[in-house]
């Protein structure tokens, strides 16, 4: 388990000490994100007119909104990943099936070639026999 660290950060112009098991860099990134949110709100004229409680509530709502949107994006990406994994599985299955068919067809082709070879040998033998019979018939006529 990581050891606890403390990091000084500045959020909305105030210095804070954050402690946790994450790295100092991570805590600085979190503080930077919050500062970006403050900057976004400060650029909106209506934000300046709100009391401190309402500003805090809006900040929390905005951060929660970002969180849930990112969570939905992650869920969608995971679903897309699952769909793609299933497609890959099906394609691999199809490849294996086609490879099996190809192997069977290659064996069938080899068997057909062997049969053809045997038939050609048989034809040559029969032609040789026929030629011998014809020669024998010619020599018997003479």
Question: What are the domain boundaries of the chain?
Answer: 1-47
- Chain centroid to Cα 74, Å, comes to 15
pTM: 0.58
State yes or no: pLDDT of 37 exceeds 80: yes
> With contact defined as beta carbons under 8 Å apart, do 9 and 16 qualify?
yes
pLDDT (tens digit per residue) in 48-106: 899 999 999 999 999 999 999 999 999 999 999 999 999 999 999 999 999 999 999 99
b/e code 99-134 from CB counts within 10 Å (16+ = b): eeeeeeeeeeeeeeeeeeeeeeeeeeeeeeeeeeee
The model's confidence at residue 135, banded by pLDDT at 50, 70 and 90, is confident
């Amino acid at each position: 388990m990581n050891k606890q660290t403390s990091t000084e950060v500045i959020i909305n112009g105030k210095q804070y000490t954050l402690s946790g098991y994450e790295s100092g860099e991570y805590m600085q990134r979190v503080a930077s994100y919050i500062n970006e949110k403050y900057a976004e709100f400060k650029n909106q004229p209506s934000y300046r007119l709100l009391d401190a409680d309402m500003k805090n509530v809006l900040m929390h709502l905005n951060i929660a909104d970002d969180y849930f949107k990112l969570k939905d994006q992650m869920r969608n990406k995971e679903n897309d990943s699952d769909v793609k994994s299933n497609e890959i599985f099906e394609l691999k299955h199809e490849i294996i099936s086609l490879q099996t068919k190809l192997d069977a067809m290659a064996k069938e082709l080899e068997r057909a070639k062997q049969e053809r070879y045997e038939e050609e040998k048989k034809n040559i033998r029969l032609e040789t026999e026929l030629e011998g019979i014809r020669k024998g018939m010619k020599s018997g006529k003479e």
